[in-house]
Amino acid sequence: MACYEDGKAADNMKQYAELNNAGYDAVKSVFSDAKVIVHLQEGNKNGIFRWLFDGLKENGGKWDVIGMSLYPESATWQTMNSDCLNNIKDMITRYGCEVMMCEVGMPWNEAEACKAFLTDLITKSKSVDKCLGVFYWEPQCINSWNGYSKGAFDNTGKPTVAMDAFKE
């Protein structure tokens, strides 16, 4: 069975929910206390999250935590953070579950803007009950490894000032 085609949420939400639940049940059978995360990109786009999680809910989908990603640029982080924080609050209210920022990142050569983005997101997310935290995706990525340049280390392999946001 091709999981993507048969379980593609846009084409068959019921089958997507069934595949999701098979994974959920498998995790819980091994470690019942594990928190199962359903993770979705573009944490600033509430409509995508409502569509997916409403669809899962309507089809008996199971999850413990909603995971989000957010990858702004220096010119967009303030708006994207605001939209993302509103989305976090909506997901918590709407579904009664915890939310985690599973992936964040910004181009390594925008380190000052990245630090401002992360400081704002971390500070504001701490004030939201049921927001579990913020994780940087692949911060140690250097030299645009495989074309990915959203690490938080410079091309010499040293952390940029962006990582200081996690110390505050």
DSSP string, 95-148: H--EEEEEEE---GGGHHHHHHHHHHHHHHHHTSTTEEEEEESSTT--TTGGG-
State residue 1's pLDDT score: 46
Question: CA 87 to CA 158: how far, in whole Å?
Answer: 33
- Cβ pair 30, 14 in contact under 8 A: no
Question: CA 8 to CA 19: how far, in whole Å?
Answer: 10
- Picking from 68, 69, 65, the residue whose alpha carbon sits closest to that of residue 37 is 65
Domains, the chain, with CATH or none: 33-166 (3.20.20.80)
Sign of the C-alpha dihedral computed for residues 125, 91, 17 and 28 taken in this order? positive
For the segment 51-73, the average pLDDT, to the nearest whole number, is 98
N residues, the chain: 168
For the segment 60-83, the average pLDDT, to the nearest whole number, is 98
Q: What is the pLDDT of residues 19-51, one digit of tens each?
A: 999 999 999 999 999 999 999 999 999 999 999
- 30-46 burial, b at 16+ Cβ within 10 Å, e below that, comes to eeeeeebbbebebbbbb
Lowest mean pLDDT among 88-97, 128-137, 139-148: 139-148
State residue 53's pLDDT score: 98
CA 11 to chain centre: 23
- Partnered with residue 40 across adjacent β-strands are 68
